[in-house]
């Protein structure tokens, strides 16, 4: 490739998959790819192709992805930076930052807070560093957006010694919420609403109360398990019920049950909302009702935390695509003064509210990778459009 390196690579490493995307100097996505089922029947998806690959671990998966990008003309030397999603920043990381040995050590310290996610995030960082040691890497933290929550919202009512261990509310989906907060005014042509209820609804689901552009409350807590009913996560559950499950199934068994065997899957037989709609069994209908009920009920808490609401925004796979769920949630929030336009909702229009509604409602497609790329550019002083 000729000319100076200018593309930005984004990396989102999960416990068994890695998703990457390439953004050009205008921060426009040009290609994306993923490796799924790492350490199993791994598959590479890129440029419309889906084929088996050898990825026994995250290091091998990164190698597969870089080779596939190279075949499309996106060699490592074409990148000016790589931005990573890091799930947990603990107390210390409240802004995106350049990855350094000290930053790596501090992300490692947060592994007990996110044992399923931070090790995978670190594995991808280290794998890329081995193959491109001179490439600057940045980290964007899913917890950072919620660092503005007041202490009364973050602190559990437990002894100080336990809080000092890091057992407190952090919140997640922060990259998604930061992205929609930045983008909403440009999409609507209106100022950011003072009190904004953001609903990230997908296999993982949460809500966020955004007051004057800052998170003041969110439904996820110490981990992404808390809050709403999710694809395979239980959502909120009494601590003593967790202790009973640990007694009956052991700690590892209880963790597996709550994180991988609960939620929509346990209630309706499928973790995918689309499958539940297609099944249309009594169990599937109950699972959907459960999801909508707890979304509305938690929304009331978020609205109270910011003293009302002027608008709400749906994002995430369910929030963007499921008109039934959006209608149920908006109907449940009619007490706020929200009147939604049924035809606009059915069509999936960006503007969902009726002309005379006191509260506005929108759909904003998730763009977490683009936000990570933009944060990498800011951290490294790479002006969009420059060469």
Catalytic site positions: 142
Q: Cα(first)–Cα(last) distance of the chain, in Å?
A: 14
Strand-pairing partners, residue 196, are: 210, 311
Quick one: which of 62, 49, 79, 69 has its CA closest to 18? Answer: 62
- Cβ atoms within 10 Å, residue 304: 12
Q: For residue 103, which phi and psi values (nearest 5 degrees)?
A: -65, -45
How many Å apart are CA 217 and CA 285, to the nearest integer? 30
**Three-state secondary structure readout of the chain:** CCCCCCEEEEEEECCCCEEEEEECCCCCEEEEEEEECCCCCCEEEECCEEEECCCCCHHHHHHHHHHHHHHCCCCHHHEEEEEEEECCCCCCCCCCEECCHHHHHHHHHCHHHCCCCHHHHHHHHHHHHHHCCCCCEEEEECCHHHHHCCHHHHCCCCCHHHHHCCCCCCCCCHHHHHHHHHHHHHHHCCCCCCEEEEEECCCCCEEEEEECCEEEEECCCCCCCCCCCCCCCCCCCCHHHHHHHHHHHHHHHHHHHHHHCCHHHHHHCCCCHHHHHHHCCHHHHHHHHHHHHHHHHHHHHHHHHCCCCCEEEEEHHHHHHCHHHHHHHHHHCHHHCECECHHHHHHCCCECECCCCCEEEEECCCCHHHHHHHHHHHHHCCCCCCC
């Amino acid at each position: 490739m000729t000319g100076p390196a200018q593309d930005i690579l984004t990396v989102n490493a999960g416990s068994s998959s890695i998703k990457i995307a390439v953004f050009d100097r205008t921060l426009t996505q040009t290609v994306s790819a993923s490796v799924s089922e790492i350490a199993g029947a791994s598959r590479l998806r890129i440029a419309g192709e889906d084929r088996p690959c050898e990825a026994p671990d995250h290091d091998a998966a990164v190698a597969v992805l870089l080779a596939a990008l190279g075949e499309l003309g996106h060699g490592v030397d074409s990148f000016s930076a790589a931005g990573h999603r890091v799930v947990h920043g603990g107390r210390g990381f409240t802004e995106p930052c350049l990855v350094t040995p000290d930053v790596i050590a501090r992300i490692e310290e947060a592994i007990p807070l996110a044992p399923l996610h931070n090790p995978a995030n670190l594995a991808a960082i280290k794998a890329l560093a081995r193959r491109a040691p001179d490439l600057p890497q940045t980290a964007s933290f899913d917890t950072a957006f919620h660092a503005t929550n007041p202490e009364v919202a973050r602190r559990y009512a437990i002894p100080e010694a336990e809080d000092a261990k890091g057992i407190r509310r952090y919140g997640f989906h922060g990259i998604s919420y930061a992205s929609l907060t930045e983008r909403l005014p440009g999409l609507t042509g209106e100022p950011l609403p003072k009190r904004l209820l953001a609903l990230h609804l997908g296999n993982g689901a949460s809500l966020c109360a955004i007051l004057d552009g800052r998170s003041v409350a969110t439904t996820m807590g110490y981990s992404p398990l808390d809050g709403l009913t999710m694809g395979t996560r239980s959502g909120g559950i009494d601590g003593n019920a967790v202790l009973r499950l640990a007694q009956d199934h052991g700690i590892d068994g209880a963790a597996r049950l709550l994180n991988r065997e609960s939620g929509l899957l346990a209630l309706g037989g499928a973790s995918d909302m689309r499958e539940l709609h297609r099944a249309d069994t009594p169990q599937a209908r109950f699972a959907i009702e459960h999801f909508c009920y707890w979304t509305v009920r938690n929304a009331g808490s978020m609205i109270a935390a910011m003293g009302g609401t002027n608008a709400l925004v749906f994002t995430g796979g369910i929030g963007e695509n499921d008109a039934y769920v959006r209608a149920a949630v908006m109907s449940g929030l009619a007490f706020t003064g929200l009147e939604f336009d049924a035809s606009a909702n059915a069509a999936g229009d960006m503007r969902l509210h009726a002309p005379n509604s006191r509260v506005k409602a929108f759909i904003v497609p998730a763009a977490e990778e683009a936000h990570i790329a933009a944060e990498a550019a800011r951290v490294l002083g790479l002006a969009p459009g420059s060469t």
